[in-house]
Structure 1
Amino acid sequence: MGAVGGFVSVAPHHGGCGRRFRLGRPASRWARGSRSSRSRLSPNSVLRRELKIDAGPPPTPSVRTGELDALVRAGLLDVGEELIWERRGASHRAVVVSGGALQLADGRIFESPSGAARALAGYEVNGWRNWARARDGVRLASLRDQI
């Protein structure tokens, strides 16, 4: 594919004759979009529009699972279960949410126990060794060892 003087040439991959399409604006303005629009157009989006090629639905974002998801699937933790971290006379609490993430009391959600602990402590902490189930005090590291 090439662009010269407002024309775009599209050549087939395996021989045959190429096709030329006249675009409504010079190729040099493709990346800037129209002056009246703030949207940015790529050469591919211009070709899709001019050739009336449906790009299909937008890609769905990948669903990320938290590190506790394996414990939930194994039945060692439940969604909604409370975790506790006793630290220097303070008691921090979190809840296991769907997907295996942790939600702190202030509403922040973390995919890993260490990330949640780091946010509370302000420095690197091994959350697996520090967070425990509130109902029985069993540490997450011990639960992970059972899988």
Structure 2
Amino acid sequence: MVPQIEVDEQVFKRLQDQAVPFVDTPNDVLRRILGFSGPAAADESTTARRPGNLAKLVDAGLVKPGDRLTHVRKRSGTIYHAVVTADGWTQLPDGRTFLGPSPALRENVGSQIDGNKNWTHDASGKTLRQLLDALTTSS
């Protein structure tokens, strides 16, 4: 059984303010504030999370867990990386995970950006969009 804690309204509001909407749980925010790297260990989780947006690529074998994604900003040349998790989430080098590739890329570049179009799968040299398109045309 996982221990539970109660927090007052003010603490909960602060956690919400620091959370990435639709991505972070209060535990994710606390882990980040406390300086823990990476996601919670499997035995620390009370429930399994739903499959991420890249799960269909993992299931089809087009992408393997741990495969690296790269984005290069055209003007500055800044390079960003992420990896695909076994359940199809996008994980940044600091351990934060995102349901889809776009929120992960937005977190890096600071503005809304299409992750499927702009992340390149290192192993294949294709964008996620190209891989997803190949998956739908082969079905």
Q: TM-score, normalised by structure 1?
A: 0.56
Q: 1:104 aligns with which of 76, 92, 102?
A: 92
Q: Which residue of 2 aligns with 1:83?
A: 69
Higher relative contact order (CA 8 A, sep 6+): 2
- Partners of 2:114 and 2:72 in 1: how far apart? 13
Please identify which structure carries the higher helix content.
2
Identify unmatched segments of 5+ residues in structure 1: 1-37, 39-59
SS of 2:102's partner is helix
> Could you tell me which residue of structure 2 aligns to residue 67 of structure 1?
53
- Hey, which bits of structure 1, 4+ residues long, moved more than 4 A? none
Q: Which structure dedicates a bigger proportion of its chain to strand?
A: 1
Query: Partners in 2 of 1:135 and 1:61 — Cα distance?
Result: 31
CA shift for structure 1 position 95: 0.8
2:107 alignment partner in structure 1: 119
5+ residue gaps, structure 2, are 1-5, 7-45
**Cα RMSD after superposing both structures:** 1.7
Percent identity reads 39
Larger radius of gyration: 1
State the aligned residue count: 89
CA drift of 1:135 comes to 2.7
Instruction: Please state how far the C-alpha of 1:61 moved relative to its aligned partner.
Output: 3.8
